[in-house]
Structure 1
Amino acid sequence: MAPPGRPRRENTVQTKLFIGGEFVEGVDGATIDVYDPHDGSLLAEVAEARATDVDRAVEAATKAFETWRHWSAEQRGRLLLKLADSIEEHAEELALLETRDTGHPIRDTRTLDVPRTAATFRYFGGMADKFQGSVIPVERGFLDYVVREPVGVVGQIVPWNFPLMFTSWKMGPALAAGNTVVLKPSELTPLSTLRVAELMAEVGFPPGVVNVVTGYGATAGTRIVQHPGIGKVSFTGSTAVGQGVARGAADTLKRVHLELGGKGANIVYGDADLDAAVQGSAFAIFHNQGQACIAGSRLILHESVADEFLDRFTALAGSVRLGDPKEPTTQMGPLTSAMHRDRVLTYLDAARNEGDEILTGGRAPDGAEFAAGYYLEPTVIEADPAHRVAREEVFGPVVAVHRFRTDEEALQIANAVEYGLGGGLWTRDLSRAHKVARELRSGMVWVNSYKRVNPGSPFGGVGRSGYGREMGFEAMHEYTEAKAVWINVDAELPRLYGEG
């Protein structure tokens, strides 16, 4: 229930678990409060899934798999294409729902989140009947071919920062490959995923092919990870939790895909187009309030342009329009939860204590319109690369700035952290661009841009950023097993035993 004095909104959204093609209450009737990060009002009370509810979902998914796996790839793809169309038909509704639940500005959910979600389902809908096996050249007389078969029931755990988009990233390839799904969205932001489940039911996905269980990580998430009936678990979230997922999956030897934290290096060389670099670097860190694993949270500036760049960049940061994310003119909304905003503030305290210089921001904004929400000003800190704010994932609108003299020094700073998800660089030197892209310890590199994603381009990292890939052919491999089949065409087998 809503705490005393906290405003309550009329509930017009789906709040139940989606199991076996039906929306149902949890077995014990417990609920989770979901809040609007702009003003702290109660958006909904969603069903809290416990371990028993996850068991019900796995049972439904297991039953559905025996039918779904035998559907033709064309049939599966057609349903995903219909879902993509339905998402586009409900684009404004989904954009507003995502904005209210996450605090992500409506201008971004309209132009980025919803279109990317539809595009991902459409990509994998088209991929379903184009994902091919192979023939292996072996000795004469034999045919050896490899087919890709679905894993079975897969468990998927989606984070709170881009719930709508990540739902498509997880479900799209899994369903296209013939798997069935038990997906848990974050307890903080479950509403858009539940709406997608409604649309999936409407376009005709068979009961049990997709199941959505809203619950806490410690209960529902842990049961997904440890359930013996789940053959693979795909998790996106923090590195610390991802390590626990890997440990929890070990007893059942299920496959694990981890897309974890990041500390993206964003290098600006002396020959960069500064106008483009300033704008691109702002998008890299302030988009979605910096709540992105691929955020460009470390600005590494060549000393010849550092002062001019910072003059422009801090002025731009100070001009970012904070406010109600439902307003089209808002450029940056609140962080998604009060707990997370407080966590980010601890990093700012650490930066002050370690002697780093906060060039702009560093606090909650003034004004009555921000008082009830979880807001934080865009923050730029000139920091020692060895300090916490420069080494650990802050996951907020906070960028640590460093300076360099040589290309070698830039790479040394960039590769000094344990994460390796995304990184970028700004230069007009084509040779340097290719060299640095090769040398950056990162799963993705952007040159003269940042945070570009596409359903066909593999997404994932190295080191403490996890392993495995979302998107593209790589994702289809993540959700299938290779089976080699040997056929004796006309080979004469030697007589190895008995009398000749």
Structure 2
Amino acid sequence: MEFLKILGISNTNFGSSSGEKWNQTKSEGELKIHSPVDGKFIASVYQGSEKDYEKLMKTAEGAFLFWRMVPAPKRGEIVRQIGNKLREYKEPLGSLVSYEMGKSLQEGLGEVQEMIDICDFAVGQSRQLYGFTMQSERPMHRMYDQYHPLGIVCTISAFNFPVAVYAWNAMLAAVCGDVNIWKPSSKVPLSAIATQNIIAKVLKENNLPEGIFNLIIGKGSTVGERILNDKRVAMVSVTGSTMVGKHAAEVVSARFGKTILELGGNNAIIITPEADLKIAIPAVVFGAVGTAGQRCTSTRRLIIHESIYNKVKDSLLKAYKSLKIGNPLDQKNHMGPLIDKNAVNDFLTALKRVKSEGGKIIFGGDVISGKGYESGCYVSPAIVEAQNHYEIVQEETFAPIL
């Protein structure tokens, strides 16, 4: 595919970089990435090692000593250039996000736009790192406070937003004078490599040192745990399940590190008798099936007033029947695949639990097969009638189940 070539994605790729340079490790195993869209092989990635991580950390420590002394507005200028470079590569990067992860092309392009938007926001913030000045009780003295960068910060991102979450963290960290290490999900490493290649162009154009924007693709049990336990990492931003976040919080807080945790969500919408269903129904459907239900903000539960229950139910069933499920690069389709077959199994298991507790599946819940669905990752989104006390209702299911 042409967008792979444009983004610098080769048939085989290395998994750790300090900016322009890539470590050449091959000993930690190779991730073979297949698209959930059609099941076809995209490319492979050699995972980074603990030795690579240590090398990146040493480089990042040196880069921080330089970067923290660059005036904040000039750091903002670099971020502005990154935003402009992302504008140049918006279409190919958005296409890769869609093809590698399975979300719709519009959502893939929207993710890159979010990266661009946060760059613009961060540029403004680079001139707004204000501090207070205060009168002192001592003659001829004045007190003031001043923000200082934390140092090395790490972004651990999830598969459902392969690039946007990284940018939200890294671009704000950059204008604050921090250097960033990014550990993306091993399910979508190619989007991360493409992003690193784009940023590297800006680093080269400005003759900046290695170590400001770092990337490592590696095992959570090794590299991930090293990050959580490493006292040199001042802050860890984790996007993932509540279980992952709980573990990260325990480990990082034990060393008095800082965390930003963006975790799961068992989100509900309440529909009252006064609700405008012309607005509410499309919102519910998009919230439930967008990104195939694989968002922390996905709609999981719908609580409906009894006086309009049947009317809402009929409207939802009609809307769900009109959904087109298929290749997310085809903009006529509304929903693409789940990320992989493990996610499909989780979807089916959750529906079995619903039925075992007495719930009723009133729409969907099947794995779709046939032409165009060869990856085995496509499902028909499910609508379930359930009681609030069911155990399955109490937790997030990362799939299109309403």
Give the percent of matched residue pairs that are identical in Structure 1 and Structure 2.
Answer: 28
Structure 1 residue aligned with 2:189: 190
CA drift of 1:303 comes to 1.5
In 2, Cα distance between equivalents of 1:81 and 1:245: 32
Structure 2 residue aligned with 1:162: 161
| Residue pair 2:180, 2:212 contacting (<8 A) in 1 also | yes
Does 1:310 pair with 2:309? no
Does 1:339 pair with 2:326? no
In 2, Cα distance between equivalents of 1:295 and 1:176: 31
The alignment covers a number of residue pairs equal to: 389
Structure 2 residue aligned with 1:274: 277
Structure 1 residue aligned with 2:257: 254
**Cα deviation per residue 1:425-457 (whole Å; 9 max; x = unaligned)?**
xxxxxxxxxxxxxxxxxxxxxxxxxxxxxxxxx
| Residue pair 1:235, 1:258 contacting (<8 A) in 2 also | yes
Structure 1 residue aligned with 2:64: 65
CA drift of 1:29 comes to 5.3
**Cα deviation per residue 1:373-427 (whole Å; 9 max; x = unaligned)?**
311111111111111332111011111xxxxxxxxxxxxxxxxxxxxxxxxxxxx
Q: Map 1:45-60 onto structure 2 (within 5 A).
A: 45-60=44-59
Q: Map 1:117-128 onto structure 2 (within 5 A).
A: 117-128=115-126
In 2, Cα distance between equivalents of 1:29 and 1:301: 51
Q: Give SS of 1:328's match.
A: coil
| Residue pair 1:20, 1:61 contacting (<8 A) in 2 also | no
Selected match of 2:129 from 122, 128, 131: 131
Does 1:17 pair with 2:20? no
| Residue pair 1:20, 1:209 contacting (<8 A) in 2 also | yes
Q: Map 1:357-376 onto structure 2 (within 5 A).
A: 357-376=360-379
Structure 2 residue aligned with 1:113: 111
| Residue pair 2:13, 2:44 contacting (<8 A) in 1 also | no
Q: What is the identity, as a one-letter code, of the residue corresponding to 1:363?
A: D
Selected match of 2:245 from 230, 242, 246: 242
| Residue pair 2:365, 2:381 contacting (<8 A) in 1 also | yes
Structure 1 residue aligned with 2:31: 32
> Which has the larger helix fraction?
2
| Residue pair 1:318, 1:361 contacting (<8 A) in 2 also | no
**Cα deviation per residue 1:44-96 (whole Å; 9 max; x = unaligned)?**
21121222221111111111000000001111101111111111111110111
Structure 2 residue aligned with 1:300: 303
CA drift of 1:11 comes to 4.1
- Which of the two has higher C-alpha Rg? 1
Q: What is the identity, as a one-letter code, of the residue corresponding to 1:105?
A: S
CA drift of 1:138 comes to 5.5
In 2, Cα distance between equivalents of 1:198 and 1:180: 17
TM-score normalised by length of structure 1: 0.75
Contiguous gaps of at least 5 residues in structure 1:
1-9, 400-500
Does 1:225 pair with 2:228? yes
CA drift of 1:176 comes to 1.4
Contiguous gaps of at least 5 residues in structure 2:
1-8
In 2, Cα distance between equivalents of 1:376 and 1:136: 61
Q: What is the identity, as a one-letter code, of the residue corresponding to 2:129?
A: F
Q: Map 1:143-182 onto structure 2 (within 5 A).
A: 143-182=142-181
Cα 1:137–1:258, aligned 2, differ >3 Å: closer, same or farther? Answer: farther
Structure 2 residue aligned with 1:486: none
In 2, Cα distance between equivalents of 1:55 and 1:382: 51
Structure 1 residue aligned with 2:398: 395
CA drift of 1:13 comes to 7.8
In 1, Cα distance between equivalents of 2:367 and 2:267: 24
CA drift of 1:368 comes to 3.1
In 1, Cα distance between equivalents of 2:360 and 2:156: 37
Structure 2 residue aligned with 1:99: 98
Cα 1:20–1:104, aligned 2, differ >3 Å: closer, same or farther? Answer: closer
| Residue pair 2:16, 2:23 contacting (<8 A) in 1 also | yes
Cα 1:324–1:299, aligned 2, differ >3 Å: closer, same or farther? Answer: same
In 2, Cα distance between equivalents of 1:337 and 1:94: 21
Q: What is the identity, as a one-letter code, of the residue corresponding to 1:338?
A: K
CA drift of 1:365 comes to 2.0
Q: What is the identity, as a one-letter code, of the residue corresponding to 1:194?
A: I
Q: What is the identity, as a one-letter code, of the residue corresponding to 2:306?
A: E
Q: What is the identity, as a one-letter code, of the residue corresponding to 1:332?
A: M
CA drift of 1:21 comes to 3.4
In 2, Cα distance between equivalents of 1:13 and 1:97: 16
Q: Give SS of 2:145's match.
A: strand
Does 1:322 pair with 2:325? yes
**Cα deviation per residue 1:184-239 (whole Å; 9 max; x = unaligned)?**
00000111221111111101253110110011211111111111221111111011
In 1, Cα distance between equivalents of 2:342 and 2:134: 54
| Residue pair 1:15, 1:191 contacting (<8 A) in 2 also | no
Q: Give SS of 2:307's match.
A: coil
Cα 1:70–1:23, aligned 2, differ >3 Å: closer, same or farther? Answer: same
Selected match of 2:381 from 378, 383, 396: 378
Q: Give SS of 1:34's match.
A: strand
Cα 1:328–1:13, aligned 2, differ >3 Å: closer, same or farther? Answer: farther
In 1, Cα distance between equivalents of 2:97 and 2:165: 12
| Residue pair 1:290, 1:398 contacting (<8 A) in 2 also | yes
In 2, Cα distance between equivalents of 1:138 and 1:379: 64
In 2, Cα distance between equivalents of 1:42 and 1:306: 45
Structure 2 residue aligned with 1:81: 80
Q: What is the identity, as a one-letter code, of the residue corresponding to 1:143?
A: R
In 2, Cα distance between equivalents of 1:13 and 1:121: 30
CA drift of 1:12 comes to 5.2
**Cα deviation per residue 1:261-297 (whole Å; 9 max; x = unaligned)?**
1111111111111011000111111110110111121
**Cα deviation per residue 1:147-177 (whole Å; 9 max; x = unaligned)?**
1111000111000001111111121211111
In 2, Cα distance between equivalents of 1:80 and 1:12: 30
CA drift of 1:27 comes to 6.2
Q: What is the identity, as a one-letter code, of the residue corresponding to 1:101?
A: E
Selected match of 2:356 from 348, 353, 356: 353
TM-score normalised by length of structure 2: 0.92
Structure 2 residue aligned with 1:207: 210
